[in-house]
Structure 1
């Protein structure tokens, strides 16, 4: 059940990272906010990998051509997903879009079953569906009237890209014939290096001014990269140990954490809709943990 602990760690780190990126998006171009997630993360991932090797007897893996292809696709899809999420930060209907982005758990369940050989129990499927309903209840409220179709499309595209990224990350981890935790660390290091190099190259060729924006916000960038890398370590490890759809459904506790912070820190009142949504998320989490 260690995947549960890794998922909970990922939830905490992702909540903090999203808050930091949302704040940074007001002063930095979308591509720069996306890069802030990766640019300083590879050294942290390498240090984590070395620590794992110091504590285990794992061998160095063999990286096949198919492994590299899977990692490349996962890296690019996560860049696309992160960029779409940053765009959602700028939308008037952000809550709706963010809720639809959380459709990744359901997408991961369906696509995983069809193309990645994932098997989920009826209890697991029920938890995934209930979790999806819960997030939509919490994010939509009374704002469905006049919702932007553009925001809906961006949210669904974001969720799909995140789901495909997660499935490919799990697939890449299982291609390495070594202990799952170490394999996940290798995949993370590969993904972060590909993302940092490719996105930095794109920005250098098309929007070099973005680097100046990032330097001006260097403390925020350092915080985002650090928290994001720690969260990715938890996500990648959890997904190497358990089916992506179950991990992502449990990960919807992020919504609960965000609302709890909002109510206890910002002193916002709890609505009936939010109570229903939180109860549904709690039920979904229990179901996937027992699945």
Structure 2
């Protein structure tokens, strides 16, 4: 059950990265804040692979791996932009909840594209945990604007599509253990994303590029946390269907509520606590099915 530990580590790191990245949006814009996680994450991932390379034989990257990685990279760029737009329109906890509808669409996409198993028990666990997310958000949904709801759900669906791309790339690698394959695909993905974002910023958003340089300290933190989180996401994807990883990752909503309470001074009510309990029950059910 290495994937369980990897997913929990990734969820904690991602909560910290989201909090750091959310603060950048107002200062350098949505596109600039989106680019930070890739541009500043790449050096950390590349350095780790460089340190490891003298001791292992690196996997060969072919066109199939590149195609899957490009799908995941592109979908993740779009998902991150939608995520930051949602965070501007709603509280941190609500935005996280909206995006965490991802496992439902991910399970369906995974079954169609990668022929991953999809049974009633697994769907039930995913559905229960997702219902918990909706309750844990603490939102009065009649007062939530439609635009943040749409951008949040779109972010979740795109994050799901990116997970499918990354898992496809990991499965397409012909050799290497799960850690080496995860790190190799991570470096490839971040390189693609950094190239796209730098080109876009240079051509269309020079102020954001200058803003990134000015905010390099917090950007460095967000990049490091992003690369660390992504590595452990990829380890999970290498070992089990992506929907299992993303459903277990719904515990991030609990972490997000903690962050909301401490950093953004948002209270936690009874309905939110009930939602967190459903998340835990759904995750426990999933682990029992996956065992």
| TM-score interval, normalised by the smaller of the two chains | over 0.9
Residue 26 of structure 1, CA deviation: 1.9
Q: How many residues align?
A: 288
Q: After the TM superposition, which of the residue ranges 145-154 and 87-96 deviates more from structure 2?
A: 87-96
User: CA–CA distance in 2 between the matches of 1:97 and 1:11?
Assistant: 15
1:45-90: CA deviations, max 9, x gaps? 12222454556x5x33232222212211211111000011111111
* Match in the other structure for 2:134: 136
Say which of 185, 188, 191 aligns to 1:187.
185
1:119-139: CA deviations, max 9, x gaps? 145432222111110111122
* Match in the other structure for 1:251: 249
* Match in the other structure for 1:168: 165
* Match in the other structure for 2:283: 285
1:151-181: CA deviations, max 9, x gaps? 2221111111100000110010010112222
Residue 240 of structure 1, CA deviation: 1.0
User: CA–CA distance in 1 between the matches of 2:262 and 2:69?
Assistant: 40
| Pair 261,156 (structure 1): closer, same or farther in 2 beyond 3 Å | closer
* Match in the other structure for 2:22: 22
User: CA–CA distance in 2 between the matches of 1:170 and 1:287?
Assistant: 23
Residue 146 of structure 1, CA deviation: 3.7
What does 1:52-63 correspond to in 2, within 5 Å? 52-53=52-53, 57=56, 59-63=57-61
* Match in the other structure for 1:233: 231
1:12 partnered with 2:12:
yes
Say which of 86, 100, 103 aligns to 1:102.
100
Residue 115 of structure 1, CA deviation: 1.7
TM-score (norm 2): 0.92
| Pair 224,263 (structure 1): closer, same or farther in 2 beyond 3 Å | closer
Determine if contact 1:131/1:249 at 8 Å carries over to the other structure.
yes
* Match in the other structure for 2:31: 31
SS in 1 for 2:59: coil
TM-score (norm 1): 0.92
Residue 148 of structure 1, CA deviation: 2.0
Q: Name the structure with the higher helix share.
A: 2
User: CA–CA distance in 2 between the matches of 1:268 and 1:150?
Assistant: 22
1:69 partnered with 2:67:
yes
Residue 262 of structure 1, CA deviation: 4.4
| Pair 153,269 (structure 1): closer, same or farther in 2 beyond 3 Å | closer
SS in 2 for 1:62: coil
Structure 1, unaligned runs of 5 or more: none
User: CA–CA distance in 2 between the matches of 1:69 and 1:261?
Assistant: 36
